[in-house]
Amino acid sequence: MALNLKMNLDKKSLIQIVVLVVLIAVGAGAYFMQQGGGGLDFITGFFESKPATTRAPAAKAQAPAADKKSGTTPAVVDAKAKADAPAIPAAPAKGQIHGKPFVVENSSIENGTLTLSLGKDASADLEVRLMLSTPPWEVPAGKNFKVAGLAGTGAPQIILAWKEDGQNAPSEQKFTDKYTLVLEFGQEKDKKLPGKISLSLPDEVKSNVAGTFKADIKGFRIVNGKPDLTADSVDTLQYLAFHELLKGDSSNTMEVIASRDGRYTQPESPNMNMTGYLEVEYRVGGGSSQIQRFQFEKDGGAWKIAKTLNANQLDEAHPLHVPGPKDPPAKVLAYLAAKKIEADIHKKYPKKSFYEPGFTTRYSDKFKIGVCETRYKLEPAGEAMKTAYLFRQRAGGWALDRELGKNEKVNFDTGSIGKR
């Protein structure tokens, strides 16, 4: 079985394809991979575990033998480093970061990165990220990391992030050496990974954190050689899309040009499922590029492909759940505008496809008026076409009134339509 995959993707997407190739090919007994331009050296980490190696001035103890079950070598820790390892308090992790008190309120592990945060998600005021030397998408259950002084090859990289007053973007400081770390993970339970940490950094204020945590397990991952399709991640959607495309590639040669606009959304009511979307551009056997759009649904706790759309179809015009009068106006207006555009283009340019579509909506409950501004291309490198539609809220819900002229605009403060 020969698979000749030429891909121009980011590193993460490329590894996902390789995972897929390996999973498919190993089942057939053999595999072959070829990468056009650049190498696959960075993929080595997926096939081999590279635990951190501790270095210290004292003489090193002999490295332990490889683990027969996993085929990996445990971290090497010399006697002095082991003796000097600090005791970790059996209390929730806390300390001080960049001179500010730090209490771990949230923790997560995703794609080999452990994140400890003070604050919520992206708005975290203080954050410690440990980039671990584990294979991609492997949860490091039961693994330990110890570094004292000079960090060896494969030791975790540490990143501090904090927000200064008056700044929107956080500041960061990175450490790859001369720090002390003891990090021990327990076993996974209910998609949480317990652990304990003692970290001391060599910055001017001696940032540190010590204690216990329970990290939420996030993102796409491989469990016992199989993808975890319960994970809420764009990576999961990519895996499903690439898997579907490869199934239909009878020539076993596919070039994935790009994957775009990957997203997933929470359900709008308790009786609905999460949904997702992804667009993939590819070519087979050196032919012309094609676009396939995928719609996903999380059903029974696992993600699956719910529907596929062609390049001449818009996601907003073919939702899995058609919006009704009780749905948010923004969703209804985008749906109605997309249906109108799609019908008009099919009639005028039946062989054309949509590229880079976008929809922006505004509405006023007071004046029962709404606008959806649309943009799209009919050629990959073509000029962006823009159209604005006027909607009015009737007794039965929102309805398309007309297309706005290029020089017209809606004043949502007064509900009137005037000139730009």
Q: What is the pLDDT along the chain (420 residues), one digit of tens a residue?
A: 333 444 444 544 544 454 455 444 444 322 223 222 222 232 333 333 333 333 333 333 344 444 444 443 334 343 344 445 568 999 999 999 988 899 999 999 998 999 999 876 555 678 999 999 888 788 999 999 999 877 777 899 999 998 877 777 778 999 998 999 999 999 999 999 999 999 999 999 999 999 999 999 999 888 887 889 999 999 899 989 988 888 776 666 778 888 899 999 998 888 889 999 999 998 887 788 899 999 999 999 999 999 999 999 999 999 999 999 889 999 999 999 999 999 999 999 999 999 999 999 999 999 999 999 999 999 988 999 999 999 999 998 999 999 999 999 999 999 999 988
Question: 232 - beta bridge partners?
Answer: none
At 15 the pLDDT is 43
At 123 the pLDDT is 57
SS (H, E, C) 194-242: EEEEEEECCCCCCCEEEEEEEEEECCCCEECCEECCCCCCHHHHHHHHH
Question: 418 - beta bridge partners?
Answer: 409
At 58 the pLDDT is 33
pTM above 0.95, yes or no: no
* CA atoms of 113 and 80, how far apart (whole Å): 28
Q: Which DSSP string do the residues of 249-295 spell out, in sequence order?
A: -TTSEEEEEEEEEEEEE--SSTTS--EEEEEEEEEETT---EEEEEE
Q: Cα torsion for 178, 209, 181, 207, to the nearest 10°?
A: 0
At 138 the pLDDT is 87
Neighbours of 119 (CB within 10 A): 13
